[in-house]
Structure 1
Amino acid sequence: MTATESPEKLLSPVLSSFWDAPDSWTLETYRRHEGYEGLAKALAMDPDALIAYVKDAGLRGRGGAGFPTGMKWQFIPQGDNKPHYLVVNADESEPGTCKDIPLLFANPHSLIEGMIIACHAIRSSHAFIYLRGEVVPVLRRLHEAVREAYEAGYLGPDALGSGKPLDITVHAGAGAYICGEETALLDSLEGRRGQPRLRPPFPAVAGLYACPTVVNNVESIASVPALINKGKDWFRSMGTEKSPGFTLYSLSGHVTTPGQYEAPLGITLRQLLDMSGGMRSGHRLKFWTPGGSSTPMLTEEHLDVPLDYEGVGGVGSMLGTKALQCFDETTCVVRAVTRWTEFYAHESCGKCTPCREGTYWLVQLLRDIEAGKAEMADIDKIDDIADNINGKSFCALGDGAASPIFSSLKYFREEYEQHITGRGCPFDPAKSTVWADNGSDNAHLEVNA
């Protein structure tokens, strides 16, 4: 950014370009903003050519791992005489993440159009949206958008042209964090308890109902229509070489103006804070998460790290869901990590021993450290327990639980020691917004964890 360039010019509103328009969620409004124009172009393409086009554009999954979307579609076997399914993961439950829900609330047809395009590519006639069931207003709005799409002929017996049918089923989950893991989601969708499956076989071979299945995040699929309509060169003109395109960043915590900021991949937190008015008045940044609580925390020294998959990975963290939780100097790191770990212990499905037992014991030790009842050896003990969880659990929930432990000890070990030597938290509870509500809009952060 040059000295004369305004920070807002770094934004690239595509998915969010008309969120503030009257009745933005309706089919009529969506059509006024080039809605379903990408679909017409996609249906004129051969499915394999469509997959290659999305692959060449470089669209990466927006759900956390950043796996190339076109490559995921390419894994679906062809000529196998089995039904193919598309499942959209809308079970957004990573602490700090809030991008898919507002997208579905304000612009649900972008997802529906993207799903029709994806189904054409993978030769599917039935798609599912697995939505977090607590968000009832979004559920109702999504049902209405699907109804409008059926009524307009975008879904139904001739949705894909030449008599090829397509149906979309909206399924409300029951509020389990573990169901955000794609194979646990599939088990839940089939009516069983949501627990991760052993892989292989992978969903592309034996997913929903033991048939080839693609599981994509909401934002990944919703980005496809604009990509097809405006072209892969336009898409690659944003972002970085290895992480092209636009994306939604969820900025929250002790910032002046929290919210959704749609920008090219590779923007920095410093630039986003400049746009949002910075940290709240009179305070400075202490630590932040680049992709929700399951990604290793970073500090003020990382303000200029490019927020793309390579940049964040290069400093030992993960871009994840791009949930930028910012905490100021009033925040007790031990308290924040304890609250996150309590969340992971509560949400563990219990299927594997490292996660089930490890998260439980991490909570016990962290509570003792926070209260000043622990010994110095307990700091190494939580590090050892986290090491026994990381990479050894059945799914990524265990890795996510270990991340705050490792990163907080890396940057704030002295704070853990102060809790033990001082026999309690060195932060004034009256000032620490992780302890109590002080009237700030962003106070009482343990509720959001």
Structure 2
Amino acid sequence: MSIDTLTPVLSRDWDHDRSWTLDSYGEYAALRTALRTDPDELIATVKEAGLRGRGGAGFPTGMKWGFIPQGPGPDGETKPHYLVVNADESEPGTCKDIPLMMANPHVLVEGVAITCHAIRAEKAFIYIRGEVLHVIRRVQAAVAEAYEAGFLGKDVFGSGIDLEVVVHAGAGAYICGEETALLDSLEGRRGQPRLRPPFPAVAGLYACPTVINNVESIASVPCIVERGADWFASMGTEKSKGMTLYSLSGHVKRPGQYEAPLGITLRELLDLSGGMRDGSELKFWTPGGSSTPILTDEHLDVPLDYEGVGGAGSMLGTKALQIFDQTTSVVRCVLRWTEFYKHESCGKCTPCREGTWWLVQTLQRLEAGKGTEGDIELLLDQCDNILGRAFCALGDGATSPITSAIQYFRDEFEAGMTTPAWELFPYEASTAWTKGASA
């Protein structure tokens, strides 16, 4: 597989000297163009480009922008509009937004400014995961540079348009990646999902019309404005257009970020990364982070777009490709993920709060080789009682790896009735350093 398969756009300048500075990035040419363009025309351009949300759900970005009501509401009041950027990246295996903000924060800031103009907002918030202080500082520095250069603030480029951007540090809760929980956190309340409707487009931040987009979604906007919708749509597949960042981790020789057109396959990405580590064979993998159903070596040639992965029974999600070889215990792996979801449940609804706790108890027995007859059916029943019944998607995400793991590796769960997972799959073999592997 040739390196030409890659399409570096967002990652193009990551290797430049001090790539995170304004001197390296440039003069916000796309913003200049956007401010001379009618907001509705900008929304139409993003729709035509086919940009879909890069945070997991894949909802069309331009369509989401178009949901923002214009003019006075039913009460005759015209409320301000807000843009909120979801930078609370914290799902196991997901690591695309953090390196993007570290290496090229200005493409995000410029994207924020363009989006604000498109949705007629004068204020935006970038909500960043609280633990990544180095990222917060870098984005804050980029915003400060943009203000100093006149790219943000009052009367940007003499257009008469004001743009204010606030960088907000979250408090470290995974649940705040759920957009309405993020809004509650941003407003100073405990981060818990809201009941919908009303949806954020109508009553979001401070009960005002609000657009919430992922970092990569917003960062993809400047190149669309600069190069055109046709250029962006020329990459990818019919329904999943453009380029995106695939995060490859696990038992591969060269883990990292690979920016490629939507629709590339795992086989191609493994070729680009040097393949599996020495002596490894692919056993299972996640196409979109730990909350998506796992796939196996049978799915190496599935197109990594929203439709292809969905057709294979999983979700593209955040394109976090975690690769596991034959040394890995699927029971242990699923247990570790489930422990994370149990810990991160906000506790608002019973199916998630109680269900994830009971899932962990059952999986711990199976991992220790102390499973009892009927434990597999119990796991499936527990998952069935959570799926579709939780207040938000956290509960559903907790069940996905479990049910798919039982589907493909039921024999390992059956072995958990008699034999500990660490005897069947010594953990040191899974984490051992091998020649040819990259740090």
TM-score for both structures, normalised by structure 1: 0.94
Q: Does residue 361 of structure 2 align to residue 364 of structure 1?
A: yes
Q: Is the counterpart of residue 17 in structure 1 residue 9 in structure 2?
A: no
Is contact 1:105-1:142 (8 Å) kept? yes
Query: In 2, Cα distance between the equivalents of 1:243 and 1:270?
Result: 19
Whole-angstrom CA distance in 1 between matches of 2:274 and 2:38: 47
Aligned mates of 2:410, 2:97 — CA distance in 1:
35
Q: Is the aligned partner of 1:181 residue 2:173? A: no
Task: Answer whether contact 1:372 1:425 (CA < 8 A) is retained.
Answer: no
Q: 2:45 corresponds to which residue?
A: 53
- 1:82-97 matched pairs, under 5 angstroms: 82-97=79-94
Equivalent pairs counted in the alignment come to 432
1:386 aligns with 2:349: no
Q: Give the one of 415, 428, 438 matched to 2:432.
A: 438
Partner of 1:27 in structure 2? 22
* One-letter identity of the residue aligned with 2:43: I
Aligned to 2:274: 277
Please give the TM-score of this superposition, normalised by the length of structure 2: 0.96
| Alpha-carbon contact 2:303-2:309 (below 8 Å) kept | yes
Aligned residue identity for 1:260: Q
> Residue 329 of structure 2 contacts residue 421 of structure 2 at CA under 8 Å; is this kept in 1?
no
**Partners of 1:423 and 1:291 in 2: how far apart?**
29
How many angstroms apart in 2 are the aligned matches of 1:203 and 1:7? 43
| Kept in 2: contact 1:358–1:389 (CA 8 A) | yes
The residue matched to 2:416 in structure 1 has which SS? helix
Structure 1: 5+ residue stretches without partners: 1-5, 444-449
Residue pair 1:116, 1:160 contacting (<8 A) in 2 also: no
Answer whether contact 2:370 2:418 (CA < 8 A) is retained. no
Q: 1:163 aligns with which of 151, 160, 163?
A: 160
Mapped to 1, the partners of 2:158 and 2:48 lie a distance apart of: 25
Select 2:30's aligned residue among 38, 48, 65.
38
- Contact 1:160–1:166 under 8 Å retained in 2: no
> Cα distance 1:83–1:438, how it changes in 2: closer, same or farther (>3 A)?
same
Paired AA for residue 47 in structure 2: K
Q: CA RMSD in A?
A: 1.5
Q: 2:313 is paired with a residue of what secondary structure?
A: coil
Distance 1:236 1:155 in 2: 29
Deviations 1:36-82 (A, max 9, x none): 12112211111111101101110000000000000000000000310
CA distance in 2, matches of 1:431, 1:29: 43
Matched, 1:402 2:399: yes
1:264 aligns with 2:261: yes
Q: Comparing 159-168 with 67-76, which one deviates more in the overlay?
A: 159-168
CA distance 1:76–1:161, shift in 2 (3 Å) = farther
Q: What SS does structure 1 have at the residue aligned with 2:194?
A: coil
Counterpart AA for 1:166:
L
CA positional deviation for 1:223: 0.3
Q: Percent identity?
A: 71
Unmatched segments (≥5 aa) in structure 2: 73-77
Distance 1:76 1:442 in 2: 51
- From 306, 310, 315, the counterpart of 1:313: 310
Counterpart-to-counterpart distance in 2, 1:150 and 1:257: 38
Query: Are 1:254 and 1:442, in contact at CA under 8 Å, matched by a contact in 2?
Result: no
What's the counterpart of residue 446 of structure 1? none
Q: Which amino acid aligns with 2:64?
A: K
Q: Partners in 2 of 1:364 and 1:9 — Cα distance?
A: 48
For residues 131 and 311 of structure 1, what CA distance do their matches in structure 2 show? 31
1:75 maps to amino acid: F
Contact persistence 2:53–2:61 (CA under 8 A): yes
Instruction: Show the counterpart of 1:127.
Output: 124
Query: Which digits, 9 at most, give the CA deviation of each residue in 1:191-247, with x for residues without a partner?
Result: 000000000000000000000000000000000000110011110110001001000
AA aligned to 2:23 is E
Partner of 1:291: 288
